[in-house]
Amino acid sequence: MKALTLIAPSTFEFGDAPQPTPGVNEVLVKVHACGICGSDLHGMDGRSGRRIPPIIMGHEAAGEVVELGEGVSGWKVGDRVTFDSTEYDANSPDTAAGFLNLSEGRKVLGVSCGDYRRHGCFAEYVVLPQHILYPLPEGLGYEKAAFAEPVAIALHAVNLAPTPNGGTTAPVLRQQCAVVVGVGLIGLLVVQALKARGWQRVFAVDLDDGRLALAKQLGAEEVFNAKEVGVLAKLKALGGGDGVDAAFEVVGAAPPVELAIKSVRKGGTVVLVGNLQPNVGLPLQEVVTRQLTLKGSCACAGEYPEAIERIQDGSINVEPLLSVVAPLSEGADWFHKAKQPGNGLLKVILTPTCEVVAG
């Protein structure tokens, strides 16, 4: 089969690779679309330590079942599917408790981190355990379906904050308002996920005016460039004087983390989604004296069916986020383009069956 392999830091090779064979309870999927994730871009040069070459990256994907391994049931050749980005133990206590994203020994597709090497989906074929597959509804194209993973990540993050419509044992929200700090692809999806879940007022902060304009188009009531003077004061005022009910930090760097923490009201919730930097400073007294709840959001944990449904019905609109569909053979060029600052790209989809660049 053909595959795009990271063979050295920031160096790719498109060529032949061994085609995998499905084992017990596994299926072979022909990949029709796979998105370049921000974690792929951060990992390609070796800085993250999670893309150690050689590795076939890619985990935001969709395709077609073409071969069944022994013991597979409920799936047939020709089924259109997407799948979890995490290969987890279906029988572990964590999975049984609903924490499949924290399952012992979990492996992320397209990651090589020293502990394991799990080739991913920038290839014509990938073998997957049957329990991480999800069926695609009729009419949902593979390019849109490849957004299921980032949409599920956004929904998971929103799940970690008390919801305006109840359903949790946490205190009822007073203002029903939230701020999203950082509106790259995941942040823009968090904005939409909040609105889809019934949050009345959503605000957004970023350094990129173009992305802020898109955030407003997709549901943010007010947007602020982080370079503006008085952004924190404005957010507090919009939240009723003391701050917003919840903040979602989707960068993973010290200044946006600090802004997120300081923008919430007493007793509010901060959900940390971004992980660009391994360590950041923490305004500890703000957290302690205002009795804030800080939650880390890791991947997703069962949100795929809702993600697929919301992509299909448009309650989370992925069309404005799809920048380019390109052939897998041109993947190296698109990785380097996507890495350049100010490139204007949100999501690049690579596909082995695409012959003409679109977008």
Cβ contact 175:315 at 8 Å: no
Closest CA to 127 of 74, 65, 81, 70: 65
Going residue by residue through the chain (359 aa), what tens digit of pLDDT does each one get?
A: 999 999 999 999 999 999 999 999 999 999 999 999 999 998 999 888 899 999 999 999 999 999 999 999 999 999 999 999 999 988 889 888 888 888 888 999 999 998 999 999 999 999 999 999 999 999 999 999 999 999 999 999 999 998 765 544 444 445 589 999 999 999 999 999 999 999 999 999 999 999 999 999 999 999 999 999 999 999 999 999 999 999 999 999 999 999 999 999 999 999 999 988 888 999 999 999 999 999 999 999 999 999 999 999 999 999 999 999 999 999 999 999 999 988 889 999 999 874 433 33
d(CA 246, CA 243): 9
Predicted local confidence at residue 356, as pLDDT: 35
Amino acid in the structure at residue 215? A
Cβ contact 269:292 at 8 Å: yes
0.75 exceeded by the pTM? Answer: yes
Amino acid in the structure at residue 142? Y
Cβ contact 82:100 at 8 Å: no
Predicted local confidence at residue 114, as pLDDT: 86
* Domain spans, the chain: 2-147+318-351, 154-296
Encoded tokens for 339: 């890495």
Q: CATH assignment of 2-147+318-351?
A: 3.90.180.10
**Residue bearing tokens 């305004």:** 283
CA distances from 340 to 48, 51, 136 (A): 18, 19, 33
Encoded tokens for 246: 């919840």
Predicted local confidence at residue 341, as pLDDT: 86
Predicted local confidence at residue 164, as pLDDT: 63
Predicted local confidence at residue 278, as pLDDT: 84
Predicted local confidence at residue 168, as pLDDT: 46
Q: Which fold has domain 154-296?
A: Rossmann fold (3.40.50)
Q: Taking CA 333 as the corner, what is the angle to CA 330 and CA 335, rounded to the nearest 5 degrees?
A: 105
